[in-house]
């Protein structure tokens, strides 16, 4: 293929894509972005039970209102977690698990503070793997680190989905 053919193909692709570039805009830019960040900061998070729920709640509070400013809540975020542990690798000689995975599903629902129909709802899913050894306390700490990684990932997923729903 000659350079002139490549250049003409590039020009054709560029000509087709150019009109679509005006349709895309960053979610957090401009006046609309500031309004969206204020809406995200106005979300109150209902208490989430268990240790992983504590980690997830803290991560969401930071992601939704990282400034720490007091904002009057407009919305309530309700989250239900389902967590399970799965042994992903088993050592054939000792018949013990050498790696595990913590899998978490989070059902979330964003409702107005006064109640009513949900503004946003969905399910976020994540898993984190960790190595297991013959040391019990090392296994406990590795599993807890995997829970913390899961909570961070879930918080980012939920925040992005909420922002997309509130931006509409």
The H or E element containing residue 35 is: helix 30-41
User: Is 11 domain-assigned?
Assistant: no
Q: Provide the domain count of the chain.
A: 1
Closest of 140, 67, 150, 39 to residue 102, by C-alpha = 150
Confidence tier at 29 by pLDDT (50, 70, 90):
low
Q: What is the pLDDT of residue 14?
A: 67
Cβ distance 99 to 130 under 8 Å? Answer: yes
Residues found in the chain: 168
pTM comes to 0.78
Domain range for 119: 30-167
Question: How far apart, in Å, do the first and last CA atoms of the chain sit?
Answer: 45
Q: What is the pLDDT of residue 3?
A: 65
110: tokens are: 């964003």
User: Is 66 domain-assigned?
Assistant: yes
Cβ distance 42 to 75 under 8 Å? Answer: yes
User: Is 58 domain-assigned?
Assistant: yes
**pLDDT tens track for 71-124:** 899 999 999 999 998 876 666 676 676 788 899 999 999 999 888 899 999 999
User: Is 21 domain-assigned?
Assistant: no
Closest of 54, 23, 28, 48 to residue 40, by C-alpha = 28
User: Is 23 domain-assigned?
Assistant: no
Question: Which range is most confident: 10-14, 141-145, 154-158?
Answer: 154-158
- How distant is the alpha carbon of residue 113 from its chain centre? 22
- Tell me: pLDDT of 53 over 70: yes
**pLDDT tens track for 54-86:** 999 999 999 999 877 888 999 999 999 999 988
- Tell me: pLDDT of 165 over 60: yes
Residue 49: CATH number of its domain: 3.30.160.150
Q: What is the pLDDT of residue 115?
A: 82
**pLDDT tens track for 124-136:** 999 998 888 888 8
Kindly give, in sequence order, each residue whose CB lies less than 8 Å from that of residue 141, ignoring residues fewer than 6 positions away: none
């Amino acid at each position: 293929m000659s350079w002139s053919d490549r250049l003409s193909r590039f020009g054709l692709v560029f000509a087709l894509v150019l009109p679509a570039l005006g349709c895309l805009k960053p979610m957090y830019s401009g006046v609309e972005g500031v309004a969206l960040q204020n809406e995200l900061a106005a979300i109150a998070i209902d208490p989430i039970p268990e240790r992983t729920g504590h980690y997830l709640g803290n991560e969401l509070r930071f992601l939704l209102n990282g400034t720490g400013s007091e904002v009057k809540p407009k919305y309530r975020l309700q989250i239900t977690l389902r967590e399970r542990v799965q042994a992903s690798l088993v050592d054939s000689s000792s018949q013990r698990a050498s790696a595990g995975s913590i899998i978490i599903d989070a059902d979330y629902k964003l409702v107005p503070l006064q109640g009513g129909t949900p503004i946003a709802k969905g399910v976020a899913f994540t898993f984190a793997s960790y190595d297991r050894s013959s040391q019990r306390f090392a296994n406990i700490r590795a599993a807890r680190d995997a829970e913390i990684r899961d909570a961070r990932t879930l918080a980012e997923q939920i925040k992005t989905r909420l922002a997309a729903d509130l931006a509409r």
